[in-house]
Amino acid sequence: MGHRSRNKQPPPEPLKENASPKKPGKRKADAVEEKAARPAKKAKDQTQKSKKASKTKKKRASSADAWEDVEDDMGVKAQARSLFEDSDGEDDAFVGDLDEFDMDDDEPLRGPIQAFDFDTDEEESETEILGKIKKSKQIERPSQIIPTGSNSDSDDSDADSDDPITMANMEARSRALDAQAAAEAELDMEEMQAAAFDEDAEEDFDMDDEDEQVEVEDVSHLPTAEEKEEEKRKGGPDVHVVQRRMRQCVRVLGKFSKRAEQGRSRSEYVEQLVSDIASYYGYNEFLAEKLFQLFPVAEAIEFFEANEVPRPVTIRTNTLRTRRRDLAQALVNRGVNLEPIGKWTNVGLQVFESSVPIGATPEYLAGHYMLQAASSFLPVIALAPQPNERVLDMASAPGGKTTHIAALLQNTGVVFANDANKARTKSLSANVHRLGCKNVVVCSYDGREFPKVMGGFDRVLLDAPCSGTGVISKDSSVKVNKSERDFTLLAHLQKQLILCAIDSVSPDSKTGGYLVYSTCSVTVDENEAVVDYALKKRPNVKLVDTGLEFGREGYTKYRGKVFNPSVSLTRRFYPHVHNMDGFYVAKFKVEKRGKNSTQETSNNGKVDTEVTGITETNVDEKGEPIGFDDEEDRPYLEEAARRRMKAKGLRPPPRTSTVKTAA
C-alpha cells in the first residue's frame, strides 16, 4: 500500500488535491488540516486566488465531515470485489448494504417529503422536470460529462453552516461542497501546471524557515544510486521528501534543458518519478510505469490522483419498469438527493446523498433501476440495438449491459447473455429477472466457442475480461496484482474473443451487422492493439464512429507501434478527464467476406477510401490462415485451463509448455 493510499493514517500534504472534481475524502480533509498546521510554504508567485484556495481548504476540512465516511466506506467495500471478473463494478444481484449513505449525524435526515408535480405534459423535457429536484448543471456547463457543481452559484457559507442537514438545505450544502472541491481542483491544476511550465519560476518555493530550506535542498537533486540504497535501507524515503521530489521531477521534465541537474538524463528523472509514484500511490513499479507512459507527465499525476477518489454513484433507470422522472420522484421521496447524469444519457441519475441504502430500496428490489457506473452505459449506447434484433452479449455477467440492451430492445427480439463463469450467471439471471427482461437467454460458454454455438447475430457486444486499470478507484488491488504476464495473457484472450465476436455477427443483417468491443482498462495492449489486430485478421470489418458525444480518440501510434488510422474512431474515457471510470469503446461494422469491398476509414473527419482485398477463404492479406496457430496458442490455452481448474478448487496438472512474455 502506498503512502497516499494508507487508510485512515494522517496523510501527508497531498501532491495535488482533488484532481477529480469531487467531494473531499477524509484523507484529503486531514491533509488540509495538517498543511495548515505546518509552516507555510508558498509558491513564489502566489496569487490572491491561491490564498483564497488555502482558506477554502481549511474551511472544507471542518465542513466536509458529514461526507467523509461515505467515501472511505465505499472504498473499503468496493475493494472486496473481484476485479478481474467484475471489473466495472455493476450490481451483482442484490446489493443490500450500501448503508454508507447513511448520514453520520446523530440527527436523522429530516424534512418534509418533497412532492413534485410530475403529471405535466409528456412532452415536457425530463431535464426540466428533474431540474425541480436539482437544477441540472449540464445545461449550464455542457462540457462536463458528470456534473461536479463547480459552476454552482451557492454561497460557500452553505457548506460551513452548523445548521442540521435537512431536506431543505441539503441541496445547497451539497452544491457548495462540490463547488469548493471543484474550485480547489482547478487551483491545484493551475499550481501543478505553473510548477511544471512556468519559465520564469527559478525556485519552486519561498523558504519560510530554515528547516524547510534544508528539506527542499535535500530533494532538489536526483538521488544517486548510493543515496537510493541508503534510502531503502532506512525503510524508504520520508513521504514529504517523495512528494517534493515528485513535484521537482514534474517541473524538471516540463523544461528539461533548463532545469535538469547537469549530467543527469531525462530517463533518470522519469525513472525516479515513476519509482516515487509507485511508492506514493502504492503501485507495483511495472504498472506505475505502464500507466505513466499513457500521458504527458503532469497529466499522469492527475490520472494517479483521480484513482484515489471514488467516482460518482450512478444508477440507470430501467425503462422496462418505469420512467426516469417517476424513479427520481420516488427516490427523492425516500430522501435521496440526485440529478440527471448529463445530456448524453436519458436514463442515468447521479446520486449525491441518500438517507436510505440505495441498493435496497423498494424501487431497487422492484427492478426500477440498476446500480451502474456511468462508463458502462457507453458501450450499449454505441451498440444501439434496434427492436426485434438478435443480440449476443458475449461476456455479460452480472448483466448491467445485458439488461440495458434488453430495455433498448423494449423486450422484443432476443439477447443471448453469455458468460464463461457459470457461478456469475446466477447474479446475471437474478438481475435479468429483477429488471423484468423477458427477451434474455442466459448461457455459459467460453466466448471462444462462438460462433460454433450460435452465430448470425445482428449485433454483438464484447465487454471483454480485462485488467481493470480503468477502475482502480473501485479496486485498488489492481495496483499490485497485475504483472506483465497478466497483460500478455489478457491481450491474447481478448484477441481470440474479438475474432469469435466478429465471426458471430451476421454481415447480412438488415438492421445491424455491428460489433462493439469495450474494456474497463486504459492500457493500449488491451484496447487499440486488440482492435488493430482484429482489423488485420478480419479484412471484412471496419471501424465506424461510436456515436458517443465525448471521449478521447484512440491512439493510432503508441511507443513505436503504428495502428490503422481508423483506430482514431475508437474512444477512450478517463477518470481525471471525464469523472468516470477509465473505459474504452470501439465499434465495428461487419461486412460480407469474399468480395472486394470499399472500406471507409474516417480519420478526424477525413474519409479515406481503400480497397481491402478480401479473399474467398479464411486467409489474411498475406494469404496466411486467419485464426490462431494452435501450437502458438497451446501454452495460453493450457494456462487458461489451469486457471479455471484453480478457480474451481482443483489442482491443475503440471505445465507442459510456458507462456512467453514480451522482453
Which positions are annotated as active-site residues? 520
Nearer to ligand SAM among residue 191 and residue 446 (C-beta): 446
- Closest-CA residue to 117 (of 321, 329, 349, 333): 329
Distance of closest approach, residue 384 Cβ to ligand SAM, in angstroms: 16
Distance of closest approach, residue 323 Cβ to ligand SAM, in angstroms: 23
Cell numbers for 469, please give them: 486499470
Distance of closest approach, residue 396 Cβ to ligand SAM, in angstroms: 5
Nearer to ligand SAM among residue 396 and residue 540 (C-beta): 396
Euclidean distance between CA atoms 190 and 204, whole angstroms: 14
Q: CA-CA distances (angstroms) from residue 489 to 36, 185, 466, 561, 643? A: 48, 38, 10, 19, 11
414-418 vs 390-393, strand pairing mode: parallel
Burial status of residue 369 (CB atoms within 10 A of its CB: 0-12, 13-18, 19 or more)? buried
As a whole number of Å, the CA-based R_g of the chain is 26
Distance of closest approach, residue 419 Cβ to ligand SAM, in angstroms: 5
Distance of closest approach, residue 408 Cβ to ligand SAM, in angstroms: 14
Collapsing DSSP to helix, strand or coil, 32 comes out as helix
Angle at 638 (CA atoms; ends 637, 642), nearest 5 degrees: 115
Nearer to ligand SAM among residue 58 and residue 448 (C-beta): 448
Nearer to ligand SAM among residue 276 and residue 526 (C-beta): 526
Distance of closest approach, residue 224 Cβ to ligand SAM, in angstroms: 45
The phi, psi pair for 308, rounded to 5°, reads -90, -5
Location of C-alpha cell 461542497:
177
Collapsing DSSP to helix, strand or coil, 317 comes out as strand
Nearer to ligand SAM among residue 21 and residue 399 (C-beta): 399
Distance of closest approach, residue 316 Cβ to ligand SAM, in angstroms: 11
Q: CA-CA distances (angstroms) from residue 453 to 394, 449, 657? A: 12, 6, 29
Distance of closest approach, residue 409 Cβ to ligand SAM, in angstroms: 16
Euclidean distance between CA atoms 468 and 490, whole angstroms: 11
Euclidean distance between CA atoms 645 and 647, whole angstroms: 5
Euclidean distance between CA atoms 443 and 417, whole angstroms: 6
Residues belonging to the binding site are 395-401, 419, 446, 463
DSSP assignment of 593-650 equals SSS--EEEEEETTEEEEEE----SSSB-TTSPBSS--HHHHHHHHHHHHHHHHHHTTP
Euclidean distance between CA atoms 315 and 411, whole angstroms: 20
Nearer to ligand SAM among residue 239 and residue 370 (C-beta): 370
Binding-site ranges for ligand SAM (CB under 6 A): 85-88, 90, 376, 394-401, 419-421, 424, 446-448, 463, 465
Euclidean distance between CA atoms 9 and 6, whole angstroms: 6
CB atoms within 10 A of CB 663: 4
DSSP assignment of 137-188 equals HHHH-TT-SS---TT----THHHH--SPPBHHHHHHHHHHHHHHHHHHHHHH
Nearer to ligand SAM among residue 275 and residue 418 (C-beta): 418
Nearer to ligand SAM among residue 88 and residue 178 (C-beta): 88
Question: Which residues make Cβ contacts (< 8 Å) with residue 411, sequence separation at least 6?
Answer: 320, 436, 437, 438, 439
Residues belonging to the binding site for S-adenosyl-L-methionine are 395-401, 419, 446, 463
